[in-house]
Amino acid sequence: MTKVALVTGASSGIGESIAIHLAATGWTVYAVARRVERMAALESRGIHTFAMDVTDDASMVEGIDRIITEQGQIDALVNNAGYGSYGPVEHVPIDEARRQFEVNVFGLARLTQLVIPHMRTRRRGRIVNISSIGGKIYEPLGAWYHATKFAVEGFSDSLRIELAPFGIDVVIVEPGPIISEWNTIAREGMVEQSVGTVYEDLARRMAVMYERVDTPRMSSGPEVVAEKVLKALETVNPAARYPAGRGARAIVTARRLLPDRAMDAIMRRASAG
């Protein structure tokens, strides 16, 4: 029987690649994003697309209802929608911080709430939350973004135990550096929020570092994340989390082993340019 997956944030990058990989292996895929016009290439592959805004409750409710009406089931939810908002805590408007949480955490949580009853009734399903190595490490000028990813990690770990009795698996995927729009948006926003402040020099140094990392030599393509998501969905007994991409596992391991003082020193050196 065909399995049905919902992938959020699918208009580009990681989400687009996940949708393509799932469809290629026989899944019925619903790919959603705010910018539906950017998903024409997915439609040409037989992937269902429609607009969904994870900060709009009605949009999410209508989207889940549509999938259940058309397919009668949702076997997998891949919570990929998210973005990186960088800048000094002193100057990032609190409304922007709230929006970061609305997109990266509360939208993910609300969609999860909406699919759980359908999975629980059938006593099977899998929820894959795209976190980040940023849910394990930290950087200056990235406090709000890292806070959201630390939240996703804790949310997912608790949910995994909560839903296990109902046959629902919860898996975290933790990408490392990935070539996508994310890097550009993060570094440009970081500089914009810092111009004219005491943090401007730091922001410009970090932007140069991010641009240097955003190359095939230092970052992976989004397909490596898609492959880990596919593994998380099709393995009989999935791991709790899957690091994905160049350096991701090493970074996560280093954070687990190094004391805070050593990690702080590494982060300071990395941001010194």
The CATH superfamily assigned to 4-84+96-179+221-271 is: NAD(P)-binding Rossmann-like Domain (3.40.50.720)
Check if 145 is active-site.
Answer: yes
Strand ranges for the chain from DSSP E = 4-7, 28-33, 48-51, 76-79, 125-130, 168-175, 241-244
- The residue annotated as part of the active site, out of 30, 145, 210, 242, is 145
Model-level pTM?
Answer: 0.94
Give the domain ranges of the chain: 4-84+96-179+221-271
Q: Is 177 exposed, middle or buried (0-12, 13-18, 19+ CB in 10 A)?
A: buried
| Three-state DSSP class for residue 80 | coil
Write out the chain's pLDDT in tens, 273 residues: 789 999 999 999 999 999 999 999 999 999 999 999 999 999 999 999 999 999 999 999 999 999 999 999 999 999 999 999 999 999 999 999 999 999 999 999 999 999 999 999 999 999 999 999 999 999 999 999 999 999 999 999 999 999 999 999 999 999 999 998 888 888 899 999 999 999 999 999 999 999 888 888 889 999 999 999 999 999 999 999 999 998 899 999 999 999 999 999 999 888 876
In terms of DSSP bridges, do strands 168-175 and 125-130 run parallel, antiparallel, or are they unpaired? parallel
